[in-house]
Structure 1
C-alpha cells in the first residue's frame, strides 16, 4: 500500500506514533491532540470520515473510532437501534453504536496491547487492520444507514437493498 522497509513492518511503535506514520504515509490530514489522542480525516466513497484514536497507557488499550458523519434524529433512533443489532451480529471486529447525547453514529473497537508479549507498541500490521476495518465497515454499511434514516426502509429492507453481493467483473 505504501513504501516502508521490512524492519519497520516487524517492529512495534507507540500506538499514536504508528498511527501518525500510517496516516502520513497515506497523505491523510491528521493532528495530535496531546499525548493520548490523534484525529485524522479520510475521504471515503460516501463521505469524509473522522478517525479518532485514544491511547490509555495505564490500561494499555487503544480505542479506535470512525465517525461516518451521520446524526440520527430522535424520532428515528428506535429503527436505527434495530439496524445496529442486525449489523453488529455480522461483524468480527468492532461494532457500530449510537451516542445518545448528540445522536452521532460511530464505529468503534479497541486493541489491548499486552506488555508481557514482548511488543511495546502497535505493529504496522495491527495498525492497518484497525484502520482499514473501521473504514471498510463504515463504507459497507453507510448505504444501509441512509436507507433507514432517509429512505424510510425497514432495517431488513435496507440490509437487503444495500448489501447486494455482485458476481463477476464489469
Structure 2
C-alpha cells in the first residue's frame, strides 16, 4: 500500500455514511473533490499520471462502487492487445479489476463493496474506505507502465508485464 494512510486522529468519526466518509477522507488528504447526489469524484496526482477517483452509492442495494481512471484511452486498433493485457493483469489482483469501456475506449479500475447498516443507516468504516481507495491507487500505479508499454512501447502483453513488474529489493 502507499504511504497515504491516515492516523486515527486525522479523521473522525470512525464510521460515516459511505459518501460522507469518502469525502472526509479526500478532504483530509487535501484532494480536490466534488459531490453530486449519490456520487463523489476526486482528482489526485499519482507517480505516473493524474487519477480521477469516482464513487457511486446505491442505497437500495447497499453497494458502493469505486472507480479509478488512470487517464488511459485506448484506440480501436489497440483494443485486442489491451484486452489480452487486462486478462493477464486481472489474474494478479486480489481486489477489484481493470476493464475497458467499449463505447469510449477508457481504461479504468473498478471495485465494489457491500455497505453495512447500523440502525438502518448505511455506514462505511475508515478502514474500509482506506482499503478501497488505497488499493485502487496502488493497482493503478503498479499497472500503469504495463498499459503504456503495450500501447506506446510496442511490447506484447506478456513482455509488458515482465518489463514493468520487475521488483527491486533493498535500497540504492
Deviation at 1:6, TM superposition (A): 9.2
Q: Which residue of 1 aligns with 2:84?
A: 82
1:8 equivalent to 2:9? Answer no
Contact 1:12–1:119 at 8 Å: present in 2 too? no
- Count of residues paired in the alignment: 168
Equivalents in 1 of 2:11, 2:95: separation in Å? Answer: 27
1:71 equivalent to 2:101? Answer no
1:74-111 C-alpha deviation (Å, 9 max, x unpaired)? 00000100000000011000000000000000000001
CA 1:7–1:50 in 2, change beyond 3 Å: closer, same or farther? closer
**Structure 2 segments unaligned to the other structure (5+ residues):** none
Q: Which residue of 2 aligns with 1:21?
A: 24
CA 1:6–1:46 in 2, change beyond 3 Å: closer, same or farther? closer
Aligned-pair Cα RMSD in Å: 1.9
Deviation at 1:8, TM superposition (A): 3.4
Equivalents in 1 of 2:93, 2:30: separation in Å? Answer: 28
- Within the candidate set 82, 99, 108, 1:106 is matched to 108
**Structure 1 segments unaligned to the other structure (5+ residues):** none
CA 1:167–1:15 in 2, change beyond 3 Å: closer, same or farther? same
Equivalents in 1 of 2:104, 2:127: separation in Å? Answer: 34
Structure richer in helix, relative to its length: 1
Equivalents in 2 of 1:72, 1:124: separation in Å? Answer: 34
Contact 2:11–2:28 at 8 Å: present in 1 too? no
Runs of 4+ in 1 over 2 A off after TM superposition: 1-9, 114-120
Contact 1:40–1:51 at 8 Å: present in 2 too? yes
Query: So what's the TM-score if we normalise by structure 1?
Result: 0.93
